[in-house]
Amino acid sequence: MVEIESPTKAHLPIREVARRTGVHPVTLRAWERRYGLLTPTRTSKGHRLYSEEEVRRIEEVLACLARGVTIGRVRELLERRPASLLTTVKVENTAGSWQEMIDEACDLSEGFADLKLRQRLDQWIAAFPPSLLLDHWLKPLHAKLARQRQSESSQHFFWQLFYEQLLLANGIARKNLVKDRVTCEKRVLLLDFPGSDQRAFIQLFCATLLAAGFDVVVLDYRAALLGLEGIVKKLGVHAVLCYSHRALSKAFLQKELPGSIQMLQTSIWLLGDFVEMQSADLGNLKKLPITSVSSGNTDSVMRQLREQLKR
């Protein structure tokens, strides 16, 4: 292990790398210890430092995972193939890793395998960036659970466990972020909507924001709308985020939300799959100068959000 005294422009601390790549420090450490994917240098006090080459390596790992390479095979693939080929080479069973995780989550929830499911959820939360989990695992898993029409009790069992594990992980991430204000991005208010699956999606999107360095406050949308302008000022947030993977009520989009942001000066973002599902219902909201709309994959949404809030 190489030690250096302090960070230089050529060496980045783990928080800065997490902010740049969207990969949580817990995940970066897991990639190093468990999978041997990274080899950061250390300061004399043991703090990890990453070179630009290591950052590029992280981006290559993300590309492999997004294409469905199992995390256990990423190192082999990176060592066997030149980096320039990673974007063109075909990988057998491209979605195999994600599909296996989807199938396992379905089986464990249907069998009410409490301890095993918690263990697997912890492993997945630690091993994969939340943006990839959201797009490549949770969304298709949600579709499969609905398609298979598993019992309501087994679905609720899964969503509740996943929500609890995310709360724990996000609590730790939030504490670590507060300690490191140097790399902290803007503070945002994320509206929380009812429904066991909805709340789990919102917490995973919250994890994505935290991994990118945003300070996130999650608040029930009904409580927030009662005095949104005052809440925004007291919390000192730079944006209000309305995220949903499913359709929201027309009453909320056409009356409740527009009525609550009439005097708001802070930007409000409409994010997630509902944006495309309900484009026709967003007419009046889109006309407001404080409103920004973003759809597409989660990484794309995060890039737009970060670029806009930096201005």
Indicate the pTM of the whole model.
0.85
Q: Quick one: pLDDT at residue 9?
A: 56
Share in percent of the chain as helix, strand, coil (round to 5): 60, 10, 25
Q: Quick one: pLDDT at residue 180?
A: 59
- Residue of 242, 22, 260, 2 lying closest to 129 (CA atoms): 22
Backbone angles phi, psi at 168, to 5 degrees: -65, -50
Percent above pLDDT 70 for the chain:
89
Q: Where are the domains of the chain?
A: 3-86, 100-309
The fold for domain 3-86 equals Multidrug-efflux Transporter Regulator; Chain: A; Domain 2 (1.10.1660)
| Mean per-residue pLDDT over the chain, rounded | 87
Please answer whether residues 246 and 193 qualify as being in contact, where contact means their C-beta atoms are separated by less than 8 angstroms. Answer: no
